[in-house]
């Protein structure tokens, strides 16, 4: 088993999923025009990004120990490849369709994006337990490091799509085909590698015990928090080009500069996750407290901007938000892996599924808030979640402090993860 190659394959696969997110937004306009569908129908096409992801990650959490991580990882790459092919080759209707399911072309379009969501869920369902298994002594650090390639994929996909459109006037089909490059790359890598069994299986933890872990009070607290952390981190991202264009027109006068704004925050996240993961590994609960505060402050600040605000103020506020949101998702996954190792892939999939479902729910709520009260009010509404999270995480931090500090829980009483000192770290 080659841990380094497995780590790299995981990085490439999550970058592929991120590129789908960025390029999807870039080609939405010309794609909807080509198929003669409305914005509402285009939104329906994109919807599987959330619910198909959730289905896949829940299924993989239960099947990863039966089918194996290698098989699921390969299937995720195949799903991306077939999805691209279906969307590009789908026949276009001659006239607008009343329903997506009235024409073969729009049906294939929907299936293609369903496969994108399914593949993304499989990627998360595999790489989280894989990294927790091969780096059992530094789970949070390594999970954050591999998730650095989510913002990296956003940056790469965004810049490539913009460059191809601006320099070569590339069609939306050609821009969408960019996804094939990393998908085929990690497909070949995954097929050539040996994957281990999960930590739970090798430690002979029964399935019934894995399910029992999901009922523990502390896990339930973290599970509830995951709904809020994901909403704070990813909800505003989907609206940023629109929001910044309305609040600070001089910063985002066009859709292209809106994408560049996301590229900036994505680059910031990549740098912090890639080189700051050791800090979060040292104090994961402290990281969650500080991250929640910064994300909430940054969002509230962004929400207070108006058309008279300077681009510099907007950039600083976005930087504060960007720093705050960076460690939320991967640290939540890492803490779950460290505190509930006997929960195995199931608990990790529950956390990931809750996070993506949360984003799917908060987006229309933010949209309604924007319609009724303006974009600033929508951001400030989500900022409140950051304050709530800071209070909850401080309470959890104080709980562990009263018990001697945050400790990595060994999967069995007789084992201590490699690379830790009796599992004790600052909290």
Question: What does pTM read for this prediction?
Answer: 0.86
CA nearest neighbour of 272 among 335, 329, 352, 336: 329
Each residue's pLDDT expressed in tens, for the chain with a length of 427 residues: 899 999 999 999 999 999 998 888 778 888 988 999 887 788 788 888 778 998 999 888 888 988 999 999 999 999 999 999 999 999 999 888 888 888 999 999 999 999 999 999 999 999 999 999 999 889 999 999 999 999 999 889 988 988 898 888 899 999 999 999 999 999 999 999 999 998 888 888 898 999 999 999 999 999 999 999 999 988 887 676 666 666 666 554 444 455 666 778 888 999 999 888 877 878 899 999 999 999 999 999 988 987 777 778 888 988 999 999 999 999 999 999 999 999 999 999 999 999 988 988 888 888 888 888 888 898 999 999 999 999 999 999 999 999 998 988 988 765 444 444 334 555 5
What's the rounded Cα separation, in Å, for the pair 244 and 92?
Answer: 34
Is the CB of residue 48 less than 8 Å from the CB of residue 56? Answer: no
Q: Is 425 helix (H, G, I), strand (E, B) or coil?
A: strand
Spell out the domain ranges in the chain. Answer: 1-195, 209-427
Q: Which helix (H) or strand (E) holds 424?
A: strand 424-425
pLDDT of the residue at 181: 97
State residue 309's pLDDT score.
Answer: 75
Residues 118-136 have pLDDT tens digits of 999 999 999 999 999 999 8
Q: DSSP for 56-97?
A: HHHHHHHHHHHH-HHHHHHHHHHHHHHHHHHHHHPPPPSS--
Q: What is the pLDDT of residue 417?
A: 44
CATH of 209-427, one of 3.40.50.720, 1.10.357.10, 3.20.20.70, 1.20.1250.20: 1.20.1250.20
Query: What are the φ/ψ torsions at residue 95 (nearest 5 degrees)?
Result: -145, 160
Query: Under CATH, which architecture does the 1-195 domain have?
Result: Up-down Bundle (1.20)
Helix (H) or strand (E) holding 229: helix 217-247
CA–CA gap between residue 341 and residue 416 (Å, rounded): 12
Q: How many whole angstroms separate alpha carbon 136 and alpha carbon 416?
A: 9
Phi-psi region of 423 (alpha: psi -120 to 50; beta: other; left: phi over 0): left
Same fold, 1-195 and 209-427: yes
The DSSP result for 149-207, as a single string, is HHHHHHHHHHHHHHHHHHHH---HHHHHGGGHHHHHHHHHHHHHSPPPPPHHHHTT--H
Query: Contact 160/180 with Cβ under 8 angstroms?
Result: no
């Amino acid at each position: 088993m080659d841990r380094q190659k497995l780590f790299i394959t995981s990085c490439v696969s999550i970058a592929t999923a991120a590129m789908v997110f960025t390029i999807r937004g870039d080609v939405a306009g010309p794609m909807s025009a080509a198929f003669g569908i409305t914005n509402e129908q285009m939104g329906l096409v994109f919807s599987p990004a959330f619910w198909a992801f959730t289905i896949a990650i829940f299924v993989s959490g239960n099947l990863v120990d039966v089918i194996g991580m290698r098989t699921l990882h390969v299937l995720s790459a195949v799903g991306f490849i077939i999805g691209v092919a279906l969307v590009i080759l789908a026949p276009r209707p001659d006239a607008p369709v009343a329903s997506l399911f009235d024409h073969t072309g729009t049906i294939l379009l929907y299936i293609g994006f369903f496969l994108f969501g399914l593949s993304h869920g499989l990627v998360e369902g595999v790489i989280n337990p894989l990294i927790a298994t091969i780096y059992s002594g530094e789970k949070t650090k390594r999970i954050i490091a591999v998730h650095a390639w989510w913002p990296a994929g956003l940056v790469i996909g965004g810049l490539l799509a913009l460059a191809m459109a601006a320099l070569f006037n590339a069609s939306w089909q050609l821009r969408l085909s960019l996804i094939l490059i990393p998908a085929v790359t990690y497909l070949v890598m995954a097929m050539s590698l040996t994957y281990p069994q999960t930590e739970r299986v090798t430690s002979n933890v029964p399935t019934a015990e894995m399910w029992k872990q999901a009922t523990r009070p502390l896990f339930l607290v973290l599970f509830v928090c995951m709904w809020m952390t994901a909403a704070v981190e990813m909800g505003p991202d989907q609206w940023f080009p629109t929001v910044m264009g309305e609040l600070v027109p001089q910063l985002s006068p066009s859709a292209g500069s809106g994408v560049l704004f996301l590229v900036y925050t994505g680059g910031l996240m990549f740098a912090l996750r890639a080189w700051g993961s050791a800090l979060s590994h040292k104090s994961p609960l402290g990281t969650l407290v500080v991250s929640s505060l910064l994300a909430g402050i940054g969002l509230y600040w962004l929400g207070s901007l108006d058309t008279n605000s300077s681009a510099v103020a907007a950039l600083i506020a976005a930087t504060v938000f960007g720093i705050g949101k960076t460690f939320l998702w991967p640290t939540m996954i890492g803490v779950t892996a460290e505190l509930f190792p006997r929960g195995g892939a199931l608990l990790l999939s529950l956390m990931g599924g809750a996070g993506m479902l949360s984003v799917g729910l908060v987006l229309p709520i933010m949209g309604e808030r924007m319609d009724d009260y303006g974009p600033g009010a929508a951001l400030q509404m989500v900022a409140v979640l950051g304050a709530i999270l800071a209070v909850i995480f401080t309470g959890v931090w104080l709980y562990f402090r009263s018990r001697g500090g945050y400790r990595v829980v060994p999967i069995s009483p007789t084992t201590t993860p490699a690379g830790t000192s009796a599992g004790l770290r600052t909290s």
